[in-house]
Homo-oligomer: A and B are copies of this chain.
Amino acid sequence: MKEDDIHTEKISYKGKDFYCSLAFALHLIGDKYKSLIIYHLKDGPMRSGELQKSITDISNRMFTYSIRALENDNLVERKVYPVTPPRVEYALTGIGKSLVPIILELNKWGQDFAGEHHLYAPGE
């Protein structure tokens, strides 16, 4: 069995089936926001509001939805401090951290693409 072969085996996870590990991985992090959340947590835990604000153009609804999904998939850990005002922190788990290098490469790829196509806004 080649490591690269996408058709290795079928994966079942929480009642859903995936025909390859890439489809499975994309189910876990392949949407508009989850990777961004993981990226912004790469340097350590962040407060909920701080994290949400760091991600431009995410609605409160999608932030809650995405962070819950990441939590349920064990990529992110949620820690609640019973204080007033409430304080909630999120941090990457071990598995979550293992994604950071891949996300960094994707980030780098985006930089290169933007650089080659001269997409950086002038004067910024």
Q: List residues of A whose CB falls within 8 A of some B CB.
A: 3-4, 6, 8-13, 17, 19-28, 30-32, 35-36, 39-40, 56-57, 95, 98-99, 101-114, 116-117, 119-121, 124
**In the complex, are the beta carbons of A3 and B108 less than 8 A apart?**
yes
Q: Which residue of B lies closest to A22 (CB)?
A: B107
Inter-subunit contact A114/B13 (CB<8 Å): yes
- Is B107 touching A9 in the complex (CB atoms < 8 A)? no
Whether B11 lies near A120 (C-beta < 8 A) is yes
Q: How many copies does the complex hold?
A: 2
Inside 8 A of A23's CB, which chain B residues have their CB?
Answer: 36, 56, 110
CB contacts (< 8 Å) of A109 on chain B: these are 25, 98-99, 102
Which residues of chain B are within 8 angstroms of A10 by Cβ–Cβ distance? 120-121, 124
Closest to A17 in B: B121
Partner of A114, one of B24, B30, B56: B24
**How far does the alpha carbon of A22 sit from the alpha carbon of B32 in the complex, in Å?**
10
Name A35's contact: one of B30, B57, B104, B116 (CB within 8 Å). B30
